[in-house]
């Protein structure tokens, strides 16, 4: 088990890092954009402490299982820094899924927060906990689903990337729309795309009622199922986009030299990175397998033009979305954080202490603690 000092070092390693699919670094967002009016007027959390926290998708360790209900493997951790400037001083941490959450949440936000702010921020945290990852596009869409639109500064996604994702997802959704509305003729593509974009943006429109009625779903099940489907499509797009970058970063990790490493450090760190790279590739293959299952299902539905069969997929979509997201989030976190810590213009070289810290983080993100990573002798 990593000791308290090591935990503080692990947390401080994230201090200068922007958000990743596994870490929502609100402390970093505040430092960079806290002076802007648009940021101030549209906070993610209204409680200032929460709005400067680090929110982390955390893999439950064996010695932590008693804190949670049975069967939970990934939980949502909230770390509120004791100092905004120096995370080495520690943080007050709690988990959304822990058994005494209400008590811990009340202690974290303080007694000066109104009941209205408390309930609003609890809702936001609940929505974050629902997501398997903090990909900015999905995060923005999830919050829109419950009527929240925080500052764009919380979502690090360019308009160009957002447009690419939307175009990709709309193309797939259009198929269902054409069959549900029995659209054909020269205007079919225009009409189906228009309705698909309404679905894409979670618009509440009477013109979408026939689709929900065709699928025989109540509003809540329809909303969750369609969001899950859109999430699967987003991950499909992201999977292909990530492939080349992942290969590059894993290659650089394998070739990185450990500066000032004693023989034992070299041995431990080399074992750790080989284990990490192997596990990343295994997790990536799991994503590929799940996406192939989706493609095969979609092909069957498409060939049979059977919208009622698609209803079954929509009901399963939230579960598929979560399974794919758990794996892809861990892989993406590693690719993004390694690229941040080891920029292309710098040599592939890392100090021993930094290597221990980052490999521990990677091992935790992948679902365990690498036994080869004891404290460094430095």
Report domain extents, the chain.
4-156, 158-215, 217-378
Q: What is the CA radius of gyration of the chain?
A: 22
Query: Any residues with CB less than 8 A from the CB of 329 and at least 6 apart, and which?
Result: 21, 22, 57, 132, 133, 134, 135
For residue 9, the model assigns a pLDDT of 44
Report the alpha-carbon distance of residue 124 to residue 148 in Å, rounded: 9
For residue 284, the model assigns a pLDDT of 93
For residue 181, the model assigns a pLDDT of 65
Report the alpha-carbon distance of residue 154 to residue 263 in Å, rounded: 43
Average pLDDT of every residue of the chain: 81
Q: Are 171 and 202 in contact (CB under 8 A)?
A: no
For residue 151, the model assigns a pLDDT of 92
For residue 376, the model assigns a pLDDT of 43
Name the band, by pLDDT with cuts 50, 70 and 90, for residue 87. Answer: low
Contacts 24+ apart (CB under 8 A), 49-52: 49/80, 49/108, 49/109, 49/110, 50/26, 50/78, 50/80, 50/108, 50/109, 50/121, 50/125, 51/26, 52/26, 52/27, 52/80, 52/81, 52/84
Q: The pTM is what?
A: 0.69
Q: Which of 34-43, 144-153, 341-350 has the lowest mean pLDDT?
A: 341-350
């Amino acid at each position: 088990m990593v000791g308290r000092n090591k935990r503080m070092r692990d947390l401080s390693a994230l201090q200068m890092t922007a958000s990743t699919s596994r870490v929502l670094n609100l402390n970093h967002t505040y430092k960079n954009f806290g002076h802007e009016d648009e940021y101030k007027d549209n906070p993610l959390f209204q409680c200032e402490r929460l709005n400067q926290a680090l929110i982390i998708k955390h893999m439950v360790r064996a010695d932590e299982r008693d804190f949670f209900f049975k069967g939970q493997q990934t939980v949502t951790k909230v770390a509120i820094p004791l100092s905004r400037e120096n995370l080495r001083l520690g943080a007050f941490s709690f988990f959304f899924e822990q058994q005494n959450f209400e008590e811990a949440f009340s202690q974290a936000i303080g007694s000066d927060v109104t009941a209205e702010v408390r309930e609003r921020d609890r809702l936001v945290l609940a929505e974050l906990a629902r997501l398997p990852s903090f990909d900015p596009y999905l995060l923005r869409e999830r919050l829109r689903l419950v009527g929240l639109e925080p500052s764009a500064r919380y979502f690090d996604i360019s308009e160009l990337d957002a447009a690419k994702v939307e175009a990709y997802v709309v193309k797939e959704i259009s198929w269902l729309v054409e069959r549900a509305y029995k659209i054909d003729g020269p205007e079919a593509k225009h009409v189906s795309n228009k309705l698909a974009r309404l679905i894409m943006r979670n618009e509440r429109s009477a013109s979408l009622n026939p689709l929900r009625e065709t699928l025989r779903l109540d509003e809540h099940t329809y909303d969750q199922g369609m969001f899950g489907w859109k999430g699967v499509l987003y991950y499909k797009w992201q999977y292909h986009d990530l492939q080349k970058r992942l290969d590059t970063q894993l290659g650089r990790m394998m070739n990185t030299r450990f500066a000032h490493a004693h023989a034992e450090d070299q041995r431990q760190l080399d074992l750790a990175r080989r284990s990490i790279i192997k596990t990343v590739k295994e997790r990536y293959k799991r994503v590929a397998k799940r996406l192939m299952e989706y493609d095969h299902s979609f092909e069957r539905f498409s060939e049979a033009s059977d919208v009622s069969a698609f209803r079954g997929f929509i009901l399963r979509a939230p579960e598929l979305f979560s399974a794919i997201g758990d794996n892809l989030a861990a892989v993406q976190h590693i690719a993004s954080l390694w690229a941040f810590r080891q920029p292309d213009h710098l040599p592939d070289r890392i100090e021993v202490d930094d290597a221990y810290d980052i490999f521990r983080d990677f091992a935790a993100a992948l679902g365990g603690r690498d036994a080869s990573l004891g404290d460094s002798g430095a």
